[in-house]
Amino acid sequence: MNKILSLEIASDCGLNIPETIVTNSKRELFDFFTLHEGDIICKPISHAGIFGLNPSYFGAYTSKISEDFIIGLPDHFFPCLMQKYIKKKYEVRTFYLEEKCYSMAIFSQADKQTSIDFRKYNAHNPNRYVPYQLPIEVETKVVAFMRAMDLNTGSFDFIRTEDGSYTFLEVNVAGQFGMVSYPCNYNLERKIAEWLIKAAS
């Protein structure tokens, strides 16, 4: 999945997206940092998996960027994806299958460790997960996006902002569904099995 392309198509379909740049320039990054009053984040340009260095495992997380970090950079560096940091009320993970959305709210703001990236999971203070209904107008735009991307399944990440709007972050085309199915009792395993049987017949 090309994240830059998916952001462009999401915007074309009417979904809100964060202000974004891809840059390898310290000057351009500092200008972007100043424009957004120091509230920016860095995230992988493409899918970043987990890799192991025995006995530890490592992953690439979304992180806020500080002025000191930028000052320490060379004038040019490997291209990075930077976005305006959007304050969230909570996050929404949506599994999409056959033009239907199965959503879950993630109250990651309740814990400092997960407030920027809920994948930095805190087993001692788990986030609260609850079934969630996206507004119909957002679901309609999700369907339009998936049609434009020629995809029939995937997992979306949204932010519900403090002003009540929704911002699209990205879609995982692997379509991971377990973390939505189990807490919300959606029984997605059955729905996927029925869909595959129907597709094969």
Give the domain range for residue 66.
Answer: 19-85
DSSP structure string for 37-106: TT-EEEE-SS----EEETTEEE----EE--HHHHHTS-SEEEEEEEEE---EEEEEEEEEETTEEEEEEE
Residue ending a domain, choose from 62, 85, 108: 85
Residues 30 and 109 both lie in one domain = no
Among the three residues 44, 59, 85, which one is the final residue of a domain in this structure?
85
Residue 105 identity: A
62 and 42 Cβ atoms separated by less than 8 Å: yes
Residue 177's pLDDT is what?
92
Task: Domain count for the chain, please give it.
Answer: 2
Sheet with 129-132, side-by-side order of all strands? 129-132, 100-106, 88-97, 153-161, 166-172
At residue 125's C-alpha, the angle toward residues 86 and 165, to 5°, is 25
**In tens digits, what is the pLDDT along the chain, a chain of 201 residues?**
788 999 999 999 999 999 999 999 999 999 999 999 999 999 888 776 677 777 877 777 788 899 999 999 999 999 999 999 998 999 999 999 989 999 999 987 776 766 667 666 667 777 788 999 999 999 999 999 999 999 999 999 999 999 999 999 999 988 789 989 999 999 999 999 999 999 888
DSSP one-letter code for 152: S
Q: Cα–Cα distance between 22 and 81 in angstroms, integer?
A: 5
- Residue 7 domain flag: no
| 65: in domain | yes
| 9 in a structural domain | no
Output the six-digit token pair for 10: 């999401």
CA–CA dist 35, 60 (Å, integer): 25
Residue 54 CA, chain-centre distance (Å), reads 28
